Structure 1
């Protein structure tokens, strides 16, 4: 076998070198893309598994002109040691045991999707208010770092709110309340219920009447025998 020419050996060596270089560059870019994907995946996992607490004033389901204070954890993880601050401070429209104190200033824990609500006041008292709301919490009970959510709550957003037909749950509750009010005197024995009794004697009478009707129909449907003339 003849010896390989020098120019062919050089070409093979250069080709091998270029192949190695291309492989190294491709490996570097693959590592880079994999690293970016890993970081983004971790960031998305953290973003989708964290608490997010909001405090709002919403119309009461029994009456649109009354407002409830709602604090909800809309995130996907529990929130601990929650504090809620309104600026200017909220005023409780109803007398409370602690001199008009507003509830939910501090909440120990809220599960994912959990919310708490309490009646606050009439809408007329806050219709022109603009609140600066600051809600903070801990992601873990022992976490020294507090996360915060701050935003503006303008009560003018709810001006002119109306409803058609009312809340079905409220309607059901009202109907049940009416039924309870009507049946309470009956349960106590102070009112009697009109009852149409149907005894065994009534059943026997119905059977006799039905049997007489059936016999009458049978006689009406029975064919009449032809008459015969006798020859003298």
Structure 2
């Protein structure tokens, strides 16, 4: 084989190896980028998001409930809730610890509600709410959410009847139970009309007498 041909074959082989190495490096780079983006999209589409709000009580609009809810699509762990200025329990529960300040776990789409106080003392208040959580029990970093909660927006709201059909059903059942207690305790008397066999016999005899009387009247009115 001529020397020049050997040199050409060697150069082509080296260039082929270099091109293969570059292509392999580029493929590795693209694969890594795709893996990172896939993981980022998976994390973005599956993450908890916890909020704390103060809402009207479902039974009485003059009372306020504290509600902590996970509106995301992943479970939140080790949840901490903080209000600034700090929340205060109602007068009847002023000595007790404020509820729902720490929660160990909250599933996606789930929330926990606890009675807080009457609305009147806090209706003009603005709170800065800070909620933090972990994505897993052993996670080293915490995620959070901070926002302003202005309760004055709830001024003047009204409601016609119960807001929850379940509350309406419960109220009607309670009323029925209270009415029945009066009957069961003989506090109220129930008037009942009874239709017995003697009543049916009396009605049948009355119909027979009426029928015979009409027959006599028809017989007396026939022309001779």
- Assess same fold via TM > 0.5: yes
4+ residue stretches of structure 1 with deviation over 6 A? 34-38
**What corresponds to 2:60 in structure 1?**
63
Query: 3-state DSSP class of the match of 1:172?
Result: helix
Counting only pairs closer than 5 Å after superposition, residues 38-187 of structure 1 correspond to structure 2 as 40-96=37-93, 99-167=95-163, 168-187=165-184
Note the alpha carbon deviations across 1:11-61, whole angstroms, 9 max, x for none.
xxxxxxxxxxxxxx9xx89x96x8877655543332232211100001112
Separation in 2 of the partners of 1:148 and 1:83? 9
Distance verdict in 2 for CA 1:204–1:154, change over 3 Å:
same
Q: CA RMSD in A?
A: 3.6
Structure 1 residue 115, shift from structure 2 partner: 0.9
| TM-score normalised by length of structure 2 | 0.70
* Structure 1 unmatched ranges of 5 or more: 1-24, 220-226, 228-232
1:205 positional shift: 4.7
Structure 2: gaps (5+ residues): 1-22, 216-222
Distance 1:128 1:191, change over 3 A: closer
Q: Tell me the number of residue pairs that the alignment of Structure 1 and Structure 2 aligns.
A: 193
Name the CA distance, whole Å, in 2 between partners of 1:110 and 1:202.
68
TM-score, length-normalised on structure 1?
0.68
Q: Aligned partners of 1:159, 1:41: CA distance in 2, in Å? A: 46
